[in-house]
Structure 1
Amino acid sequence: MKVRIHKLFEYLLDTVDAEPEAIVGFSLSSSPRLGEFLDDLDPDLPLDWNQRSFRGLPELRDHVLRQAGLEGICAPDDVLVTAGAAEANYLALRQLLSPGDRLVSEMPGWPQAEVLGRAQEAEIVTVARDEADDWRLPLDRLADAVTPGTKVVFLSNPNNPTGRVMDADELAAVVDIARRADAWLIVDEVYAGLEWEGERAPSVAGLYEKGITTGSVSKALGLQGLRTGWLICRDPGLMQDAVILRENSSEIMNILGEVVAEIALRPERLEPALKAARTEGRAGLDRMDAFVTQTRGLTWSRPQAGLIGLARLPDGIDGEAFARKLLGPPWRTFLLPGAAYGEPQHIRLGVGGGPGTNLEAGLNRLAACLRDWPR
């Protein structure tokens, strides 16, 4: 079946030429500059593949396991370096789902699983997170949805786009639910590393023999342009199939992406980078919290992790109509409507991207657009 466009990407395509003056909703930390890595780059580096492993640079895969807390639990060959977490999700879902298979996912959540599942002619079942419970995943409803024979459960932790975090006990319960159904459990961790409450949650690849962890350097480290992510799983058959499938899509990783990501994930660089990102991110979220509190009719649950969250608009305002109006003159401010995540009465707010997003001006314009909205 043909892959159908999702609302999130459709909106981005429709608005990419708008040239906004401010952005309210950027999802990644401030991006480093290439010059920050030059001292560690070899000018004689061949611009071919890494010439050492089709699974990715061995030292990069070691770093991936370390940052995920999986050293001694997973082996380096349990890691495949991919073109971002999106390719990692694709490699898992593409090989696991066949027509008629049951895929259980969450709403709101990252829409990629639903898009690929429909293209595979799978049965799609979504479990609604509860806004009244700060977007917690209802484990009782998940257990009801994951029936015997369910092929795949796909979740994000921290949740994209609410920033809700499942803790170790919740993850253990999710693993039990998946195990009872003998289902594969994919958890996208692309927003891990910027936790504001408590510790980083355990990675599911270390909790369950059919657990698959995906992630990247895109969000917490602001390195989205590297297109460098990973898939982690202890099942050798799935990993070998992922290598073969990648050979027929992106084939090999770009060497610069691998090398720069390896440098960025070195422990002596990773911790200072995360500390700086957390300092900037927490300040931004404090500002956003104050803005939501002061703006009549706007409410949100502050994210427990990451730099984005969903805000409910005042009654009677459609999120997509509001986003399109805000993007036009005189406001020229970009944000994503909640319809991109199946929540049409919401907008996505975020504080990433650094000074270039012109966040303060964007917030002022957002408030003015709300005041101008016809009642």
Structure 2
Amino acid sequence: MQGPLTGVVVLDLSRALAGPHAAQMLGDLGARVIKIEHPQGGDESRGWGPPFVGPDGDISTYFLAANRNKQSITLDLKASDDRDTLTRLIRHSDVLIENFRSGVLARLGFSTERIEELNPRMVLLSITGFGHDGPEGGRPGYDQIAQGEAGLMSITGPPGQPHRAGPSIADLLAGIHGAYGVAAALYEREKTGKGGVIRTSLLASVVGVHAYHGTQWTVAGQVPQANGNHHASIAPFGAFRCGDGMIQIAAGNDGHWQKVATLLGIDPARPEYATNRDRFAHRDELVNEMEKVLTTETRDHWLGALAEAGVPAGSIRTIDEVYTWDQTRSQGLLAEVDHPVLGPIELPGPVLRFDHHTSQDHTAPPALGADNDAVLDWLKGKEAP
């Protein structure tokens, strides 16, 4: 693969989702990613499902989602020979990603000080559940627990009924933030000649996207509440019932509201609806009044009318509808790869497009240890006099 990070070598010691997602993002940008897995079973997400696919029903679609554009080698880091191999790899790589619990990598003989000694240019990304230090720094972290501890569940779902976000968003955000940190560290290394350690966590990554929910508490002193399918600060802005289902309407300013009101036969200047502050204070009443009209026609009718009026609106698609949508496909959001067992398959693709780089070919997530020989041969070549 060619891309902005072509020539960068990434060692991916992580497993499950946060670290692998970060490494996959770097691979999408052209980095060579070497995934290091335990010989017995490898990354535990290889066993996570359903669904499982393949002739033997043993290939996890969960694993496929986070491990494209990687090579897999097997090392048992409790064995001295395999620790020696990792030592050699560290000397000739640029980035190491790990999401062990705090202190585990050091106990295996690879403290941050040891890694810096082996390769002063190494960029180390460490992802934990709740941070590497502090009173609860050693806690194991899984996505749903982090969603709850970081406040996300309290503002998701219907009022008074905490819900997890559908995707493992704490893991994914940690991976995204981690990849962002690696890119910044690689840029800094060009100026200083030195690598460094980047730390993030599931907790930090969720708190970091609280945005206006955070300032609602830190500045205004109000504890945010769940608002179901409606916006926490804007009205009307959310999901509304129509005659045959639901649509979403986003009246983000007074101009949009006036168009919505005119379309639905509501006086936009009524005192209780005149400004966003007024509309939000009377949101329940407003939603009921809008839905009385919206339920008289179909979703397609209203989506067409709203589009003609210039009001942001949309349908609520199922996942299969998203991946068959022409707009999704036009944006390169699916990556076709040739899997050694499954043949040609489509995976959710990279989210960045660079005008000066043509579309890239992607490689399928690897079988466990599939690249042992190739990586060791590459390593010997790097070490040759």
TM value normalised by structure 1? 0.26
TM value normalised by structure 2? 0.25
Structure possessing the higher radius of gyration over alpha carbons: 2
